[in-house]
Amino acid sequence: MSTQTDILITYQLTSNSIESLKSVDESEYWKRKLIELLLTRSIHIFPNDENSTQIVYDQISNNRISIFGQKDHPGKRGILSKSYTISGSVLLTINPLAAYYHDRAKQPEFIVKFEKVLQPYITTYTKTLNQYEKGLTYLIIRVFLAYLYDDEFHKKIPNLCTHQKEIRFDIGKRHFSDKLKLGIVSSIKDFLIGHEIGLTLFKKNLIKVSKKNWKFIDDLVAIVFINYFTLFNYQRQELGIALDPDFALINHSCIPNCCQITNDCNEFQIVSTLPINNGEELTVTYVSLGMPREIRQFELFSQFYFRCSCSLCVLDYDPFFCIQCNKCGNKVKSPSFKLILTSPNLIMRQHLCTICLNNLNQSIYPKNIKIRNFFMSLVIFSSNGLSFNDQDYYRYLSKEFVSYIERFTSQELIRMLVDGIHQFEIPEIRTNLVKELMDVVIQDKAFPMYSFPFSIIIRELDLADSGRRIKSSKDAIDRLRIKQQRLFGVDIPSDLSSMLAFDNCLFLDMADLLFDIIRFIINSDLNPQTDSILGLFNGNSLGVFCQCAFYFYKQVKSIFSEEEIEDKLIEIMEIYDSWVLNHKLTLSECLKALFELANLNNIVVSDNKMSVKNAMGDIVDFRMDRDDFI
């Protein structure tokens, strides 16, 4: 029997033979390099039951962090802190070898070259896929190429969990997995068959990855399903998806103590957002936060096959599905999310506020509960109901929600809501109705804005407005209210981990909208006596907008926006100085006026800070320094 060395010599796949091609025929060089790796690189076959006995390959542990559970099975491991760590500490810097970006970004040379070799065969398969399927396919291929080429990556992949058993019993995911595997295997086979040496070795059954009906590709698809994550840019916009074996060891919490901060497309850092004690585990979030417990649990189990038992999930009440006292804002006892999905018109179990003794037996609560049911129905159906006027449409969807509760289990309804959330859009002809109903909810104060489903509605209203030109004074005021309600009523209160404190562009959208409104005012022929926007704030609207825009721009710390923001700050100061004001405006009074416009009652503004109350009742402070205002 020929040894591997003999085979390499026979088929001119030795290092010397391959290297000699690099300057002569680069394409052939990379083809033979890939064939050589497919022939020689060892392939780890993951046990079907996840009971791997392989000890973790650890290149993470240092004097600050370490891997725990190194002798445990995959899925039982994680990373913990070896000392007290203050918030803002960089714990890991990661350069993902395997990533798929929505726009072009720099890839490692070996990925670029190997993909060029495989491209004719990959394209045959991917042209029938949607964007999501295409992205996952390319990510799996890049994970495979990194596994073949990079020694460190090769040793770290066996550290990871596959959940093969759960995927086999998950019919939808199994079919999807089989579809991706078929395309990837076909691409590799077609490449080998299209090359004389590759064809010979494939016929001789010498390509290791093809063993056991290409089981390793099965394993790799499962690994990517369970361990890939989303990459974001400095504005928290999605860049793409990636898999990194070190990052994949960090476990989930619904109140994580770490987050991902992107420096550029090819590097990100894991930064502590909360203080971490000695021996405490590092955690990130795997799902969108600010959702009811049942939705978070459903997403975690359907995607990652585990149930979370973090400090937020074991609370007696759910801060993201709750009713509050409409006088003092105190949370009151009310039916759980799951119970509402069996009996939609249940109201409070408490009829007197324990803090302010406010009588809760008021008509606003049944009215607002009906609006909540309508919004949940809208998330599920997203139907425009063209044949109905707004009043009939409201009644129609409300009845549909009740009928669905009678026909489906709470778990089935949760699945429908999760599906609806990911594709939710407010029908354009119902935007005014939705805004009117949200105004009722915000005015009545029976629910916090960050509670479900109102948070979804506010975010979608804001998203629908983004990038659109301001048409009128009313349009400007409406958009400003919604933008504030999203940022200060939903996003910041929902952030229980202080992750937004590390978002250098947190206030950029707010500042940009105010800047657009300022330009709208000075470039429009508005009548000061009759125009709604000029009549705001005792006639000082432009001064208020200038002070607030100046403050919010000063909070943006991104190096990518420095020059543009500096120009806008100068323009704002010039406009402010040229405008006739009734009196000198302080930043604190301007912010108070702005927040009152949006009916925000969870913010306190003093001379040197603004304080926002989050969903747990904790206070989040934002400083106001002397150079932050005009």
Of 268, 286, 304, which residue constitutes the final position of a domain? 286
> How confident is the model over 243-292, as pLDDT tens digits?
999 999 999 999 999 999 887 667 899 999 999 999 999 999 999 999 99
- Side-chain-side CA neighbours of 230 within 13 Å: the count stands at 11
Q: Which residue has the tokens 């859009």?
A: 425
DSSP label at residue 533: T
84 shares its domain with 198: yes
Would you call 615 exposed, middle or buried from its count of C-beta atoms within 10 A (0-12, 13-18, 19+)?
A: buried
- Residue 112 in any domain: the answer is yes
CATH of the domain at 209: 2.170.270.10
Let me know if residue 583 belongs to a domain. Answer: yes
396 within some domain:
no
Task: Let me know whether 47 and 31 are in one domain.
Answer: no
Whether residue 130 contacts residue 276, with contact meaning beta carbons closer than 8 Å, is answered with no
Give the contacts of 483 (CB within 8 A, at least 6 positions apart): 462, 465, 509, 510, 513
Average pLDDT over residues 566-582: 88
pLDDT at 4: 86
Out of 259, 286, 313, a domain closes at: 286
In sequence order, what are the residues at sequence separation of 6 or more whose Cβ sits closer than 8 angstroms to the Cβ of residue 209? 38, 43, 144, 188, 216, 217
Please indicate, yes or no, whether residues 29 and 165 belong to a single structural domain of this protein.
no
Residues 473, 533 contacting (CB under 8 angstroms): yes
109 in the same domain as 189? yes
Q: What's CA 623's distance to the chain center, in Å?
A: 27
> Given the DSSP bridges, would you call strands 283-284 and 251-252 parallel, antiparallel or unpaired?
parallel
Distances (CA, A) of 241 to 134, 137, 244, 305: 12, 11, 10, 20
Give the confidence band of 529 by pLDDT, cuts at 50, 70, 90: low
pLDDT digits (tens, 9 = 90+) for 401-438: 999 999 999 999 999 999 999 999 999 999 999 999 99
Residue 51: which pLDDT band, with cuts at 50, 70 and 90?
low
- Whether 361 has a pLDDT exceeding 90, the answer reads no
305: left (phi over 0), alpha (psi -120 to 50) or beta: left
Range of the domain at 22: 1-39
Does residue 221 have a pLDDT over 70? yes
Compute the distance between CA of residue 207 and CA of residue 214 in angstroms, rounded to an integer.
10
Predicted confidence at residue 280, as pLDDT, reads 98
Residue of 159, 155, 166 lying closest to 72 (CA atoms): 159
Residue 75: closest CA among 164, 163, 171: 163
- The residues near 140 (Cβ < 8 Å, ≥ 6 apart) are 180, 184, 220, 221, 224
Number of domains in the chain: 3
Sign of the alpha-carbon torsion through 36, 40, 46, 51: negative
CB of 34 closer than 8 Å to CB of 114: yes
How many beta carbons lie within 10 A of that of residue 175, not counting itself?
9
* 47 in any annotated domain: yes
Q: Is residue 7 part of a domain?
A: yes
Tell me what pLDDT residue 265 has: 66
Which residues have CB under 8 Å from 453's CB, separation 6+?
372, 375, 376, 378, 379
Give the chain's end-to-end CA distance (angstroms, integer).
Answer: 83
DSSP class of 489: I
pLDDT beyond 90 at 31? yes
30 and 48 co-located in one domain:
no
Q: What digits encode the pLDDT tens for the residues 142-194?
A: 999 999 999 999 999 999 999 999 999 999 999 999 999 999 999 999 999 99
**Continuous H helices in 555-601:** 562-578, 587-597
Q: How many CB atoms lie within 10 A of CB 155?
A: 17
| Residue 20 and residue 62 in one domain | no
- Section 456-484 average pLDDT: 94
Eight-state DSSP code of residue 491: I
Predicted TM-score (pTM) of this structure: 0.92
Q: Are residues 161 and 281 in the same domain?
A: yes
Is residue 513 located within the same domain as residue 555? yes
Task: Kindly state whether residues 211 and 243 are assigned to the same domain.
Answer: yes
Work out whether strand 238-243 and strand 229-232 pair parallel, antiparallel, or are unpaired.
Answer: antiparallel
CA atoms within 13 A on the CB side of 119: 9
With the CA atoms of 374, 375, 379 and 385 taken in that order, what torsion angle do they form, in degrees rounded to the nearest 10? Answer: 50
Q: What is the mean pLDDT of the chain?
A: 92
Whether 77 is covered by a domain: the verdict is yes
One domain, residues 16 and 48:
no
Q: Which residue blocks in 357-469 are alpha helix, DSSP H?
A: 364-381, 390-407, 410-422, 431-444, 454-465
Residue 581 has pLDDT above 70, yes or no: no
Is position 501 within any domain?
Answer: yes
Identify whether the C-beta of residue 82 lies closer than 8 Å to the C-beta of residue 63.
yes
Residue after which a domain boundary falls, among 221, 255, 286:
286
Q: What is the pLDDT of residues 292-351, one digit of tens each?
A: 999 999 999 999 999 999 999 999 999 999 999 999 999 998 889 999 999 877 767 788
Same domain membership, residue 83 and residue 27: no
How far is Cα 143 from Cα 96, in angstroms, rounded to an integer? Answer: 10
Are 50 and 159 members of one domain?
yes
For residue 288, which phi and psi values (nearest 5 degrees)?
Answer: -65, 135
Are 204 and 39 contacting, i.e. CB atoms less than 8 angstroms apart? no
Residue 204 lies in a domain: yes
